[in-house]
Amino acid sequence: NKQIGAPNLADDVWLYGGGLRTIQHTINEGKQNNMPAFGSLLGGDNELARAKAKVLAAYVWGLSNDPQAK
């Protein structure tokens, strides 16, 4: 979204890769000078936190793969 300076999550353009693992890694580790890491907010490095990150990554991935969102 150019108006607020954020990427459009509903299109198929990815700056750092649009695969589920890449999205999950970005959620957990962040991107330098672009996005903070959210892994600790999801509970750190344990099975539940990893599951939360995976569900969130699947949601974000689904936004760009939903024909109705385009």
In order along its 70 residues, the chain shows pLDDT tens digits of: 677 777 788 888 888 888 999 999 999 999 888 889 999 999 988 999 999 999 999 999 998 887 665 5
The CA-to-CA distance between both ends of the chain, in Å, stands at: 13
- The set of residues, in sequence order, having a beta carbon less than 8 Å from that of 63 and lying 6+ positions away, is 9, 10, 69
Residue-level pLDDT at 69: 55
Residue-level pLDDT at 33: 81
**Which residue's structure tokens are 């024909």?**
67
SS3 state at 31: strand
- Which residue type occupies 69? A
Residue-level pLDDT at 1: 63
Helices and strands (H, E) in the chain, number of each type? 2, 0
Residue-level pLDDT at 6: 78
